[in-house]
Amino acid sequence: RAKALGKARYELFDSTMYAQATELMQLEMDLRHAIEHQEFIIHYQPIILLETYKVIGFEALVRWQHPQQGFVSPEKFIPIAEETGLIVPIGYWVMREACRQLRAWQEQFPTNPPLTISVNISTKQFSQPDLIEQIHQILQETGVEGRSLKLEITESAIMENTESATAMLLHLQQMNVQLHLDDFGTGYSSLSYLHRFPTNALKIDRSFVMNIGVNGENLEIVQAIITLAHSLNIDVVAEGVETVEQLAQLAVYKCKYAQGYFFSKPLNSKLASTLIASGLNFESN
Ligand code: C2E
Ligand code: MG
Ligand code: MG
Ligand code: MG
């Protein structure tokens, strides 16, 4: 009996693993299919200048509309795309489409300075030798100026590519493309590279912002990151701001920019256009 049970358990375990592996393989196949069949869209989350409560730009966040499974979260498919290298074509698609959309908005709704777009660059993408060339081409093609494009790169993506990173980042700086360090505070603790690389802004990770009111440690981390940005004379963006209390605390520390559900979830391009057309102002809300 015990033996039978043991075998059954073993088989159960085995079939679960098998199911997981096939699900992953299926997702990978579907992901290849998705590129060809244009199942991706971009949502745009507004980024707000806290001094004026004005929207200064948007972060482009990719969305996958799977034909059978419906919406698949980027948290789920980006790691698969990263592992299989599919992130490279997906990433360039996102950048091209986001820049095309940005240019259309800039023309329709001129502001001073012009609206910006933030695009996430994965570790794999950051290691592509032709990254600079591709970005150059996309900017040319869409008519977007380098200063309107913000690349969101994690500390780990830079640290895993230190050899190529320096040259790459200097090139980007020459093109006036902005470098924003995403999920700041969750990666490497060594801060020495902040001096070495032309960083324009730190994005405080959502996990710290979320717990501002919950425990004092996170509050201190948030304060420390903002102070660090001020002393380096670079910008700082708080991500994942959901409550008025979090916002009030960020204001006390003079955090310059914020982004989060308190202001707006990521919007489809039509809703984002409506927001821009209505004056980009959150103060009246
Ligand atoms: P991220 O770059 O740190 O983006 C911020 C994430 O936080 C987004 O999740 C956004 O929807 C979510 N968020 C923003 N405000 C709030 C808030 O107030 N509360 C909560 N709970 N969440 C908030 P999303 O869109 O699911 O993207 C997850 C991650 O997937 C991104 O984290 C980014 O690392 C990656 N990702 C998304 N789009 C792309 C892309 O086009 N290329 C690459 N390489 N990665 C992407
Ligand atoms: Mg980001
Ligand atoms: Mg982030
Ligand atoms: Mg994050």
The pTM is what?
A: 0.92
Say which ligand is closest to the CA of 61: 1
Determine what percent of the chain is predicted with pLDDT higher than 90. Answer: 72
Mean pLDDT for 245-255 is: 95
**Residue type for 9, please?**
R
Kindly provide the ipTM of the predicted complex, given to two decimals: 0.97
Q: How much is the mean pLDDT over the chain?
A: 90
Atom of ligand 1 nearest to the CA of 74: 30
Query: Which residue, chain included where needed, has tokens 């199911």?
Result: 19
Atom of ligand 1 nearest to the CA of 125: 44
Decide if pLDDT at 238 tops 70: yes
Backbone angles phi and psi of 215, in degrees to 5? -140, 150
Nearest CA to ligand 1 atom 19: 240
pLDDT category, 188, cuts 50, 70, 90? Answer: low
pLDDT digits (tens, 9 = 90+) for 11-59: 665 677 777 778 888 888 899 999 889 899 999 999 999 999 999 999 9
**Residue type for 283, please?**
E
Query: What is d(CA 31, CA 231) in angstroms, rounded to the nearest whole number?
Result: 43
Decide if pLDDT at 273 tops 50: yes
Does residue 88 contact residue 125 with C-beta atoms inside 8 Å?
yes
Peptide bond into 198 cis (omega under 30): no
Around ligand 1, the residues with Cβ closer than 6 Å are 45, 61-62, 73-75, 78, 87, 91, 94, 120, 122, 152, 182-183, 206, 239-242, 259-261, 266
Q: How far is the CA of 95 from the centre of ligand 3 (A)?
A: 17
List of E strands, 192-233 = 201-204
pLDDT category, 285, cuts 50, 70, 90? Answer: very low
Query: What is d(CA 153, CA 161) in angstroms, rounded to the nearest whole number?
Result: 12
Decide if pLDDT at 229 tops 90: yes
Nearest CA to ligand 1 atom 4: 61
The DSSP symbol for 247 reads: H
Say which ligand is closest to the CA of 150: 2
pLDDT at 257: 98
Q: How far is the CA of 9 from the centre of ligand 1 (A)?
A: 38
**Residue type for 128, please?**
Q
List of E strands, 98-224 = 116-120, 149-154, 178-184, 201-204
pLDDT at 160: 86
pLDDT category, 3, cuts 50, 70, 90? Answer: low
Query: What is d(CA 89, CA 130) in angstroms, rounded to the nearest whole number?
Result: 12
Q: How far is the CA of 177 from the centre of ligand 1 (A)?
A: 21
pLDDT digits (tens, 9 = 90+) for 134-186: 999 999 999 999 999 999 999 888 888 888 888 899 999 999 999 999 999 88
Mean pLDDT for 65-70 is: 90
Say which ligand is closest to the CA of 60: 1
Atom of ligand 1 nearest to the CA of 94: 41
pLDDT category, 268, cuts 50, 70, 90? Answer: very high
Mean pLDDT for 97-106 is: 98
Decide if pLDDT at 223 tops 60: yes
- Per the model's pLDDT, the better-predicted residue between 217 and 135 turns out to be 135
Mean pLDDT for 250-268 is: 97
